[in-house]
Structure 1
Amino acid sequence: MRGRRTSGERVVSDRGRRVSDRGRLRRRGAQRGRIIRRRVIALTLVIGTLGLLYGVYFTPLLGVRSVEVLGTKDLTKPQVLDAAAVPSGNPMLTINLAAIRDRVAALNRVASVNVSRSWPATVRIDVAERVAVGVIKTPTGAHLVDHTAKDFATVASAPAGLPELQLTSSAADDPTAVAVVQVLMAVPDKIRAEVLSVSAKSPNSVVLSLSAGRQVRWGGVADSTRKAGVLTALMTQPGKVYDVSSPQLATISNP
């Protein structure tokens, strides 16, 4: 009869069920194995990453081994290294580059400085030193002044070729000193090479003394570009005093 299964049919059905169950178990086991392998791989990567970070940040594995100093001329490498105070052996990534830069920048002769990492184990310090544009002569020595009017060094005697700045002192916040330096830098190169000294009683009364007893009355820093052009034209004519303090009414005289 159709509604009743024979014993043979039941055996075949049970056998099929068991085969199906074993298949499901194998698939579940394989899936579970894949999950475990993925978790092991992920855990290994995490542990490896943590180990690498620990090695980089907290051990001398990638620590500072050397410090390279570039760009010095009058400064010595030991002077820069002493100011930089780079901690040898400390991990490269934990080195405070800004703090090193600030310490080196505090040296009077330093105009600018850049500090960088040079992998795998070197800190690089690139220094640009101040360049003297004039000198203030005093009984204690010759004070070198740069284009910002900063008095950055004192030497025993004035270097050849630098004009004397006839000031009692120089500083970036001294209006008269700043005016003297700015005027000197505004003078055309060819004429600047003939400047022997620069003086001023106020920021608007700058006077340059040139070779052969000549004098340039410049006045203040206003209209310096125009004054430079006018002076270049005037100095093609003979004279002793070239007054460009009012460039629209510039004069030449022979007092």
Structure 2
Amino acid sequence: MSAPVRGRSTRTRPANRRPKSAEYRARRRIILRRRLVALLSVLTVVGLGYCVYFTPMLGVGEVDVRGSVVLTEDEVRTAAAIPPGSPLVRLDLDAIHDRVAALPRVAAVEVERQLPGTVQLLVTERVPVGSVKLPDGFHLVDATGKDYAVLPTPAPGVPELVLAAPSPADAATRAVVGVVNELPEKLRPEVVSVAATSGADVKVTLTGDRVVRWGSSENTPRKAAVLLVLLTRPGTTYDVSAPDLATVS
């Protein structure tokens, strides 16, 4: 029986030690790569956010005004007060809306962002339903009863409204405007003026010095329909304040 050889280890080196080390290094590279990609992504987002919010990269380059008729586009832009180059996403659209809506001739306005650098203002101007002659000129009144502009001469194509002081809060103004708003198109060309001192004594003057006692603005469509029938009869005074008992004299 032979004796074991001294000085030589009987332990064997693990065969899988080298592969484990290589696998570890490979996994570590993948993790580092992912962290680098994540870091670059964050930096990219931060950089883009900074450019969008704090630089003119997506700044206002144009203010596009649509819908203005009497107002000029420059008047609307001046009221909007949008600094050129302002970051588009940081604009206070409500504040811009309020500044443009404060123009007396503006009935409504819509404000929209349009990438890459345009702000669009869609304006709806007030339309006069009549004009009131006062010492300083002819005051235009819209369908809400608002006095919004003064002209040196009568506005063409709109009747005169005979009122002490036009105001949406005034009963006479509301009554006169209520009648004018509901008059049928067939009758409008014949209307010269509409007057009232209260909410219940509206009087309409037609061409040919014909006068219509209208009363209140209630039942205006019914009164207008009756008046069209009465106008087929000769007369100078037509009373439709009680449309079921209308008279001609």
TM-score norm. by structure 2 comes to: 0.91
Q: Can you give the 5+ residue segments of structure 2 that lack an aligned partner in the other structure?
A: 1-7
Asked if 1:186 is matched to 2:182, the reply is: yes
Residues 122-146 of structure 1, C-alpha deviation per residue, up to 9 Å, x if partnerless?
1111111111110111232111111
Report the alpha carbon displacement of residue 202 of structure 1 after superposing the two structures with TM: 0.8
Name the amino acid aligned to 1:200: A
In 1, the alpha carbon distance for the partners of 2:107 and 2:38 equals 51
Q: How is 1:193-204 mapped onto 2 (pairs within 5 angstroms)?
A: 193-204=189-200
In 1, the alpha carbon distance for the partners of 2:239 and 2:27 equals 96
Q: The residue matched to 2:208 in structure 1 has which SS? A: helix
In 2, the alpha carbon distance for the partners of 1:47 and 1:157 equals 65
Q: Can you give the 5+ residue segments of structure 1 that lack an aligned partner in the other structure?
A: 1-7
* Identity, % of aligned positions: 46
Residues 121-170 of structure 1, C-alpha deviation per residue, up to 9 Å, x if partnerless?
11111111111110111232111111111111111101222111011221
Q: Pick one of 141, 144, 149 that aligns with 2:140.
A: 144
Asked if 1:53 is matched to 2:55, the reply is: no
Q: How is 1:100-249 mapped onto 2 (pairs within 5 angstroms)?
A: 100-249=96-245
Residues 97-125 of structure 1, C-alpha deviation per residue, up to 9 Å, x if partnerless?
11111011111111111111121111111
Residues 70-118 of structure 1, C-alpha deviation per residue, up to 9 Å, x if partnerless?
2111112222122111111111111111111101111111111111112
RMSD: 2.1
Name the amino acid aligned to 1:51: G
Aligned residues: 244
Name which of structure 1's ranges 217-226 and 194-203 shifts more when overlaid on structure 2: 217-226
Q: Pick one of 46, 68, 74 that aligns with 1:72.
A: 68
Q: Pick one of 84, 87, 92 that aligns with 2:88.
A: 92
In 1, the alpha carbon distance for the partners of 2:212 and 2:182 equals 13
Residue equivalent to 1:3? none
C-alpha contact (below 8 Å) 2:164/2:197 kept by paired residues:
no
Name which of structure 1's ranges 215-224 and 102-111 shifts more when overlaid on structure 2: 215-224
Q: The residue matched to 1:53 in structure 2 has which SS? A: helix
In 2, the alpha carbon distance for the partners of 1:228 and 1:144 equals 24
Runs of 4+ in 1 over 6 A off after TM superposition: none
Report the alpha carbon displacement of residue 227 of structure 1 after superposing the two structures with TM: 2.2
Q: The residue matched to 1:217 in structure 2 has which SS? A: strand
Residues 5-31 of structure 1, C-alpha deviation per residue, up to 9 Å, x if partnerless?
xxx9x57xx24x2x3122222222222
Relative to its length, the structure with more helix (as a share) is 1
Q: The residue matched to 1:209 in structure 2 has which SS? A: strand
C-alpha contact (below 8 Å) 1:188/1:232 kept by paired residues:
no
Name which of structure 1's ranges 33-42 and 50-59 shifts more when overlaid on structure 2: 33-42
In 2, the alpha carbon distance for the partners of 1:207 and 1:112 equals 31
TM-score norm. by structure 1 comes to: 0.89
Asked if 1:33 is matched to 2:8, the reply is: no
Name which of structure 1's ranges 58-67 and 39-48 shifts more when overlaid on structure 2: 58-67
Residue equivalent to 2:4? none
